[in-house]
Structure 1
Amino acid sequence: MKYAITFAIVALATIVYALPKPDDEKYTTKYDNVDVDSILSNERLLKNYIDCIEGKGKCTAEGEELKQHMKDAIQNCCDKCSEKQKEGVKKVFKHFEEKKPEVLNKLKAEHDPNGEFEKVCREKVKDIDI
Structure 2
Amino acid sequence: MYYSLKNSLITMKLLIVLALVAAALARPDDSHYDEKYDNFNIDEVITNERLLKNYAHCLIGDGKCTPEGNEFKKLLPEATKSNCGKCTDKQKVHVAKAIKAIKEKLPTEYETLRSQIDPEGAHAEDINKYVAKYAP
Q: TM class by shorter-chain length?
A: 0.7 to 0.9
Contact 2:46 2:101 survives alignment (8 Å): yes
- Among 53, 64, 67, which residue is 1:58 paired with? 64
Report Cα offsets for 1:39-78 as digits up to 9, x if no partner: 1121222222122212223321211110110011001110
Identity %: 38
Q: Distance in 1 between matches of 2:123 and 2:26?
A: 29
* TM-score for the superposition, normalised by structure 1: 0.73
Indicate which of 111, 118, 126 corresponds to 1:120.
Answer: 126
2:58–2:65 Cα contact (<8 Å) kept: yes
Q: 1:42 aligns with which of 37, 45, 48?
A: 48
For residue 108 of structure 1, what is the aligned residue in structure 2? 114
Q: Scaled by the length of structure 2, what TM-score is found?
A: 0.71
Structure 1 unaligned residues grouped into runs of 5+: 1-10
**Which of 66, 84, 87 is residue 90 of structure 2 equivalent to?**
84
Instruction: Quote the Cα distance in structure 2 between the aligned partners of 1:80 and 1:103.
Output: 25
In structure 2, relative to structure 1, the CA distance for the partners of 1:38 and 1:101 (3 Å cut) is: same
| Higher mean displacement: 29-38 or 113-122 | 113-122
- Structure (1 or 2) with the larger CA radius of gyration: 2
Count of residue correspondences: 128
